[in-house]
Structure formats: structure tokens, C-alpha cells
Amino acid sequence: MEENRELEFPAFPYEPYSIQLDFMKFLYRSLDRGGISMLESPTGTGKTLSMICSALQWLVDRKKLGSLGKNGKESSGGGTEDDDEPDWMRNFVPNKEPDLAERKNLMQKKKNGVRSKGKEEIVRDLFSASAGEDRGEKANDKEVRNARGKIGVDEVDDDEFLLEEYDSEGENGGKLKRKDVGANDVFTSEEEVEEEGLGEEEVEAQLKIYFCSRTHSQLSQFMKELRKTKFASELKVVCLGSRKNFCINEDVLKLGNATRINERCLELQKSKKNEVSKMKKLGAGKRVRGSKSSSGCPMLRRRKIEELRNEIIQLEALDIEDLVQIGRNLGSCPYYGSRRMVHMADLVVLPYQSLLSKSSRESLGLNLKDSVIIIDEAHNLADTLISMYDAKITVSQLNQLQTHLNGYFRRFRNLLGPGNRRYIQTLIILTRAFLQMLSDDRKVVNPTDTPCDADEIKNSSSSTMTINEFLFALNIDNINLVKLLQYMTESNIIHKVSGYGDKVAISQKVVAVGDDEVVSEEESAVSGFRALADILSSLTNNDTDGRIIVSRAKQTCSGLEGHIKYVMLNGEKIFSEVVDQAHAVILAGGTLQPIEETKERLFPSLQLDRLPFFSCGHIIPSENILPVVVKHGPSGRSFDFSYKSRRSSTMIEELGLLLSNLVTVVPEGVVVFFSSFDYESLVHDTWKASGILFRIMKKKRIFREPRKTTDVEAVLREYKETIDALSMGDPMGCNGAILFAVVGGKISEGINFSDGAGRCIVMVGLPYPSPSDIELIERVKHIEGLEKTILGKNLNASTDAECHNGDVEAGFQILKSCKGRGKEYYENLCMKAVNQSIGRAIRHVNDYAAILLVDARYASDSTKRSCSHSTDKLPQWIKSRLVATTPNYGEVHRLLRQFFKSHKKKEATDKDFNSKK
């Protein structure tokens, strides 16, 4: 496409502003160019609509030219078989319909339990000496079969939990050896029979756009904007989401927790075959009916899914709520129904995690080759990406696993083949070792020369280790974790052991209380097994990619607490898997500044001057915003909310005097952001005791952000209703409301405070993350170490050698020793949080608000600065209008009074003008 030709965007439903045109043109040309680009447009400037009209216009134009058609025909399969969807869906491969013989062959393999694996080259033994044990496996086969044949009718319920024999000698890794036909034989399911009829497969869309955002509400907003354009009816669009948002099975929804909903959904799918077969064959010739719990999900009938898909095709772009409603009407699962649409869609709308996680991509069948990926709200992309690869297992989960594994092994030891016995014993060894690591009396000493004091490690509640240090400390470095994970995937041990353990636990409770209806309220061991699998998988990463954090077990009022957690530090390799496949990746957001932090963590090899970056101003006129640095309080004290000073009574009192003055001059709503919930509570209680809170309440009603996110919506609703009511006049002299919020909380991101809800935003201090955060400090050390590697310096410098165990002073010492990228990253985290919070106020062209940055550290004289300053990292539309220094608070008060007086006068003039029209 010609670079200089005039671009037009006829789908834009309004007359676009100049900055919107500039944004759309930059995005269009970025898609032409390919690679990574970043676009920043303040919230309230029509960013979402601009992205839709530009990107989808490019898609339409590109499809007309057909220049990418040849590259877009690859099947979206690409992934391994996964138990994350029904069998009939998993075996469906778009545009690659097998012939009849091949389909029968696939079905026969499936019946025989053969599952393909992606790592066929991994054939090492579990232990170095395991070859000798494996040689005795065949000799034991007959003994095991004979033992199984002696199972009585009374033990039939236990027999269903018995594992199939497992052969770890196969060249393709482990595999099930289903030589017997008897107690464990399962008939061919109805779903397998229906696979014979799969013939009418749609053609894979040649070019796709994937649009991602962080939350489901943001995706719903995207769909709402999409419907304003012609593309909603011209293109095929599908919206993906989580099971928790899509599930319409009331029995499953009652579980509430997303993890439990996921597990129950998968359990229902695994039990489907047993129910469809109607009967189980028993070795003794007896037959029993499948249990009701094994009936599968009634929403997953193949014909219903097809009916849902056909219904979706007939309608234009549907969001999650629409899909759920249609699913309820048809009695068909909208979660799997939407997934059925992916291969034929032009535009796929989905959450971050579904696209960024490799396992999720493979499960959903997402084909990223030559596609376009647009990631909105990209300011948290790096943290979101690496957090998806974190893994954590708690002491309670380990105790439950230990109990279940020991009980299962005692019950079935004589019935299991040597392969199963060996792997189960290995799992028992691992859980025992992890529990010993978490015990209070265990001293953790790194195998290498540790710079940390041994007493400090022993007395601390947490410590960090590399992967190798962790493996060596527990003496488990000789275990082939890859092969063990393969066994856990193929053998179905997770559901067998969990099912048996849950049954024993329930029966014990029934005996204890004599009630046949008792149901165990304990969380299923399945979640513990998945947590263990995640930890073991993390231990197969490169030693430098992450850190192990051991938080030792301690007794609290809520029970025994403690955990082992793997923290991923390196997001570059993960993100490169996406970038290398896609034609173009667009990172968009309202506030992406400072962009260096995102670049350094996700694509450090890309030079900053070669990274296309677009940042536009705001659509509001300059007089509609008043950003001011507040250096002094009303009594003349200098504001210092650094970690060591912010808790002083004088500083809290001075802040109270400031707000007491502000509520007299600022109309309607004021939002005050504190650095943490603990600090907000301290300030609130101090003001309440001193009477300052009462003075504030004379002018504005006070609201506080709740710690529980589920309560936030109710508080916000009451806050806004109060402002609307008081704007009509109040005989008591109250002129609005004030909301105490927390940086990094629910209110600081994604909440709109337009018009009267946010006439003034007050940022208290610079919200640097706490140095007691072990994960944060490890990340800082890692990023600082990257620079040393590039510069060829010694990695054993002080920042990489210091030990940090959750102590604030130790954290400060590490931060002080950082001089390069680690320091920059820490500062950028602070300013990103500031930018997100203060960006909540201005939401449309006629909106106006004041922004107060309350701390002397914000103040600066640009003529005397020789290095960068924190205010340099503010968004350009705020920085260009910032009043960076004032002689005293009196000047700040004068500016505020003048600002709101002029806008009140303008509103009165506009109202009078409109009434005369």
C-alpha cells in the first residue's frame, strides 16, 4: 500500500477530531509495516472506536488485496490434545478433514488410550537407576492382572479408582498398556460415534485480528463500540471469555470460585464416557449403573452446540452477556459454542490470558501466524504476562496431597504395576520434601557460598532461591521432572487419587455424623494436584528465568499458612513466541508512559528509536485541566510522604488541613489516592481522633474504597448518587462527596470519574511499591543484572549478591545499590501508578478537573535540573500544563478558586444559551 496516499475511515460514526484521525492513520500504517508498535491516547479521546475503525478498515482492505491470503491458510490446530474441551471438539481440525480411514484410525487410537505428545525426544528415565526396575515390569504384569481379577463385588467402587498400567519404556515416552478387558474397559461413547459425522467444516479465516484487554468489562465496552460501526454486521466476530463468565450450568455456577468451576467442568467431561456407556463391566460378571455424578454436563450435547453456533452466525457481534442469554435459551454451552466459532472469525475478542498463555492458545486453537494482535490497556502487560507463569502451592494443599497419595498407595499398592508404583512414590517423596522445606525448624542453606547470615535465614519467614539451589537443597535434582509431568498428564492420576481421597473423606464424615447426605466441604485435591504440576513445570525452566520464594509455615487465626512460589522474571521469551508468529503487534493504552519499562521487560533487544510510538494530546482545551504540584501545606510545612516520614502525626495533620481547605473551594466530587489500604486506614483513624474528619464532613460526605472488590460497585454508586443529589443544593451547606481510594486498587484502574464525580484528583505522595515485597525486589535485581550482562560486568556485584527476606531495610539497601535499569524500573512502576490514577478524571471533551500532586518531591525547577525528574514521566497532555512549583499553599488555593469559578461561570452561560435556543 502506498505510504503517502490519503487514508479514509468511513466507518467512523462521527466527525473525527484531528487527534483521532492522526491515531487511526498511525495505526493503519503500523499494520501495513508490521512488527511492534505502541499507541497512547488518553482515556476519553475515543481510543477504542479509533482502533476499531482503523484496524478493521485495514483488515477489509487487506482481504480485498489478498496479499496475505497465501500465508493465512494454515490450520489453527497447532496445539496438543488437551482435556480442556470435549472429545468431539478436540478432534475437530478446521480445514484439514481426514478421510474415512484416517478418522477410524484416530478413533481406534483414542479407544486404546494412545495420546500424542509434543516432546517425543524426551525419553530419559525418571531416575538414573530406574532402568533396572523397569526390566521387572513385564514379569509383574501377570501378577497384577491376577490380583485385579480377585477384586470382589464389595470393592467395585474402589476399583473405578484403579490406574491403568503405565509403561515408561516406550520410545515415545510413557503410555498406557490396556491389555486387559474387564473391570476397566469402557465402551465407545456416543460422542465418539458422532465424530463419524464431522464433514461440514468451515474454511479457516485467512487473516484474523485478535483484540485483547484485561477484564471482561473492558471487552464488553469494546463490543459496544464495535456495534456503532458497519463492521459489526460485515465481519464475523466472536467474543471469548472464562468459564465463570460463560457457564450456564446452575449446579456448577454454585461453586462460585473460578478454579472450582473450571475443575468441575473438566470433571463432568471426563465422566461423560462412563455415563454414556450406561453400564460398567465388572470382572466378576456383575453390572452396576454409573453414578449420577458422572452424568456429564447437559449443556455439552453436540447438536446443541451446533445449533448455538448457527444461531451466532446469523447475528451481528455479540458480547458475553448476549452469548450467555442465547445459550440459556437453547440449553447449550456458550463457552464451548464461542470456541467453535474461532476458526471462522475475522475478529476474535478475548482476555489477555487466553492469548498470552501458550497452553490457552493451544487449547483454544488460536492460529497467530500472520495475524494482527491488538493489546489494549497495555500498561500492565509485562506484569500480567509473567504473572501467568507464576506457580504456587500452599502447605494445606501439600498436606492434603500427602494424605491422599499415602492413602491411595496403601489401598492399591498390590494392584499397581511397577511404573505406577514408582511414579506415585516419587510424588510422595516430592510432597514430603516440600513440606520439610516449609517447616519452621528447617534451616535453608544454599548449596553455594551464601552471602546471607545463617541466623537471618533461620529467623526469617521467607527466603528466595534459584531453581538449581532449590533442587539441590531438597536433594531432588536427580528426578526427571519432565517425564514425571508427562506421567501426571497421561495416567489420569490426578482424578483417580483425588476421587478416591474425596470418597474416603466423605465416608469418614458420614460415619462420624450418621448422615448419608453429608458432602465434604473441603476443596478437592484436584486443585492441589494442579498446583503441584504447575510448580514442577516451573522447575523445568532455565535457572535464570525465575526465582523460588519459600514462605515458611506459621500458625495464624485462619489456620496454617505457608507456601512455595515460583516467580517468573523474564517475559522476553514468552512474549517473543507471540511476536514471532504475528504479522503485527499493537500495544495500546491511555497511559503507556514511561514506555521504557515495557520495552526493557518484553523486547529489550529492540532499540528505542526504532520502536514506532504514537502519543497524542487530549481533546479537551487547555483551560479544562489544572495540574498543580502542592509542595507546602496550609500551615507552611513541606509535604514529605516518603516511607520514613509519611506516618508522622505532623505530616498526617498537615494533609488533613489541606483537605479541609480543598473541600471549601472544590465543588462536587473529590477523589484522594493513598499509597496503600493500611496507610489510608491510619490517616482516617488519626483524622477521626483529631476532629479533622468532622471538619471535612461539614462540606462533603466521606466514602472509602472497600478492601473487597465485590463491594466497590455499591460504594461507587452511592458516592455518585450523593454528588448528584447534593448538586441540586443542600440546606446544611454540604457541596458534594469525597472518596478515599488506594493506588493499585480497583478504583485506580478502569473506573470513570467523569464530570462531577471527579472535579479534583489528589495524589498523596509518590506511591513507590514496598521494598518488603520479595517478588518486586527479585525482579529489580534481575533487571539490574540484565544491564550488567550487556555491559560485560561481573554478575556477582552487590545487587545480585544481597539477600532479601521480606525485610524493609534489606529491600532499601538493594534498591540503593541499583544504579541502572533496576532503579529505572522501580521509579517507572511508581509513575505508572500515578498516571493511571490521575487519568481517571477527564473523560470527554467538555469535562474539566484539577489534579493535585501532593509531595515536595514532585516540585522541580526545569532550568536547574541536570537529570530526569519524576514529572518528566507524566503524560504529555498533563505535563505540558503542569504548574510545577508554587511559593506557598495560598497560591494553590487561589489557582483552584479561579479555575472552578471560571468553569462555573461558563456552565451558567452555556445553560442560559441553551435555554434561549
**How far apart are the C-alpha atoms of 649 and 448, rounded to whole Å?**
46
Q: For residue 23, what pLDDT is reported? A: 95
SS3 category, 288: strand
Rounded Cα distance, 302 and 877, in Å: 53
Instruction: Give the Cα-Cα-Cα angle 688, 690, 694 (nearest 5 degrees).
Output: 55
Q: How large is the average pLDDT for residues 490-519?
A: 71
Rg of the chain over CA atoms, in angstroms? Answer: 31
Task: List, for residues 785-828, the tens digit of each pLDDT value.
Answer: 754 554 444 434 343 434 555 678 888 888 888 888 888 889 98
Rounded Cα distance, 339 and 84, in Å = 11
- Residue by residue, DSSP assigns 637-674 as PBP--STTTTTSHHHHHHHHHHHHHHHHHS-EEEEEEE
Q: List the single range of 196-205, 298-307, 670-679, 681-690 with lowest mean pLDDT.
A: 196-205
Determine the Cα–Cα distance for residues 698 and 678; give it in Å rounded to an integer.
Answer: 25
pLDDT given at position 113: 41
Cβ contacts of 489 within 8 Å, gap of 6 or more: none
- First CA to last CA distance, the chain: 48
Amino acid type, 823: K
Give the pLDDT band (50/70/90) at residue 89.
Answer: low
CA-based torsion, 211, 217, 220, 226: positive or negative: negative
Chain mean position to CA 492? 27
For the chain, give the percent of residues with pLDDT over 70: 73
Determine which of 122-126, 174-178, 360-364, 614-618 has the lowest per-residue pLDDT on average. 122-126
Give whole-number Cα distances, 301 to 293, 492, 835, in Å: 17, 24, 48
Residue type for position 62: R
Residue 27 has pLDDT above 90, yes or no: yes
What's the confidence (pLDDT) of residue 295? 54
3-state secondary structure 545-574: CEEEEEEEEEEECCEEEEEEEEEECCCHHH
Residue 175, pLDDT above cutoff 80:
no
Return the pLDDT at 155. 45
Instruction: Please list the residues that pair with 38 across neighbouring strands.
Output: 587, 613
Distances (CA, A) of 299 to 249, 310, 374, 837: 7, 16, 32, 42
The rounded mean pLDDT for the chain is: 78
Q: With cut-offs at 50, 70 and 90, classify the pLDDT of residue 652.
A: very high
From residue 376, how far is each of 19, 361, 371, 388, 579 by CA, in Å? 18, 18, 16, 17, 16
pLDDT category, 90, cuts 50, 70, 90? low
Q: Exposed (0-12), middle (13-18) or buried (19+): which is 832, by Cβ within 10 Å?
A: buried
pLDDT of residue 300: 86
* Cβ neighbour number for residue 371 with a 10 Å cutoff: 23
Cα 533 to Cα 113, 264, 391, 644: the distances in Å are: 21, 18, 9, 42
DSSP states along 578-638: HHHH-SEEEEEES---SHHHHHHHH-TTS-GGGS-EEE---SS-GGGEEEEEE-B-TTSPB
> Would you state the cell numbers that stand for residue 146, as one nine-digit string?
491376577
Is the distance from CB of 376 to CB of 211 less than 8 angstroms? yes
Q: Minimal CA–CA distance to 341: which of 368, 359, 314?
A: 314
Look at residues 180, 175, 420, 141 and name the one whose alpha carbon lies nearest to residue 282.
180
pLDDT, position 797: 38
Average pLDDT over residues 522-535: 84
Rounded CA-CA distance 852/626 in Å is 8
Give residue-wise pLDDT tens across range 30-44: 999 999 999 998 877
Torsion (CA) 910, 914, 916, 917 in degrees, nearest 10:
140
Distance of CA 59 to the CA centre of its chain: 28
Identify the residue with better confidence: 593 or 914. 593
Q: Among 90-99, 523-532, 763-772, which range has the highest average pLDDT? A: 763-772
C-alpha cell at 126: 525418571
Distance CA 587, CA 830 (A): 20
Long-range contacts of 656-661, Cβ-Cβ distance < 8 Å, separation of 24 or more: 656/683, 656/686, 656/687, 656/690, 656/692, 656/693, 656/696, 657/633, 657/692, 658/630, 658/633, 658/634, 658/854, 658/889, 659/692, 659/696, 659/738, 659/762, 660/692, 660/695, 660/696, 661/634, 661/889, 661/893
Distance (Å) of CA 206 to CA 55, 341, 363, 570, 890: 16, 14, 20, 33, 64
601-614 tens-digit pLDDT: 888 888 878 889 99
Closest-CA residue to 479 (of 531, 426, 529)? 426
Average pLDDT rounded to a whole number, residues 671-691: 96
Which of 202, 199, 160, 204 minimizes the C-alpha distance to 182? 160
Quick one: three-class SS letters along 109-127?
HHHCCCCCCCCCCCCCCCC
Please report, for residues 177, 306, 493, the alpha-carbon distance to residue 488 in angstroms, rounded to integers and kept in the order given.
15, 33, 6
Residue 565 vs residue 89, higher pLDDT: 565
pLDDT tens profile 825-873: 899 889 989 988 888 888 788 889 999 999 999 987 554 544 568 888 8
- Residue 378 phi, psi (nearest 5): -80, 5
Confidence of residue 457 (pLDDT cuts 50, 70, 90): very low
Neighbouring-strand partners of residue 280: 288
Residue 313 has pLDDT above 50, yes or no: yes
* H-run or E-run covering 381: helix 381-387
Instruction: Report which secondary-structure segment, H or E, holds 462.
Output: strand 462-465
How does DSSP classify residue 26? H
d(CA 914, CA 917): 5
| pLDDT for res 868 | 67
- Per DSSP, which regions of 755-828 are E strands? 760-764
pLDDT at 806: 62
- Per-residue model confidence as pLDDT tens digits over 893-906: 999 999 999 998 88
Mean pLDDT of 443-452: 39
Report the distance separating Cα 807 and Cα 793, nearest Å: 28
The span from the CA of 561 to the CA of 558, in Å, is 8
pLDDT at position 804 is 56
Read off the C-alpha cell for 436: 520439610
d(CA 756, CA 40): 26
Residue 87 confidence (pLDDT): 58
pLDDT level of residue 715 (50, 70, 90 thresholds): very high
Identity at 766, one-letter amino acid code: L
pLDDT the model gives residue 862: 52
Interior angle at CA 479, CA 475 and CA 484, nearest 5: 140
User: What does each C-alpha distance from 34 to 30, 582, 595 come to in angstroms?
Assistant: 6, 9, 19
Query: How many CB atoms are closer than 10 A to CB 902?
Result: 12
Sign of the four-CA dihedral 143, 145, 149, 152 = positive
Task: Indicate the DSSP class of residue 732.
Answer: T
Please report the pLDDT score of residue 394 as a whole number.
Answer: 93
Res 114 pLDDT > 80: no
Cell numbers for 412? 492399591
Entry field: residues in the chain: 917
- Judging by beta carbons within 10 Å of its beta carbon (0-12, 13-18, 19+), is residue 762 exposed, middle or buried? buried
The proportion of the chain whose per-residue pLDDT surpasses 90, expressed as a percent, equals 39
Mean pLDDT computed over 344-372:
90
- Burial of 26-61, coded b for 16+ CB within 10 Å and e otherwise, reads bbbbbbbeebbbbbbbbbbbbbbbbbbbbbbbbbee
pLDDT value, residue 294? 43
Cell numbers of 653, please?
495533620
The whole-angstrom separation of Cα 83 and Cα 85 is: 6
Calpha distance 844→731 (Å, rounded): 31
Euclidean distance between CA atoms 261 and 241, whole angstroms: 14
pTM of the model: 0.76
Position 529, amino acid: F
**pLDDT of 14 strictly over 70:** yes
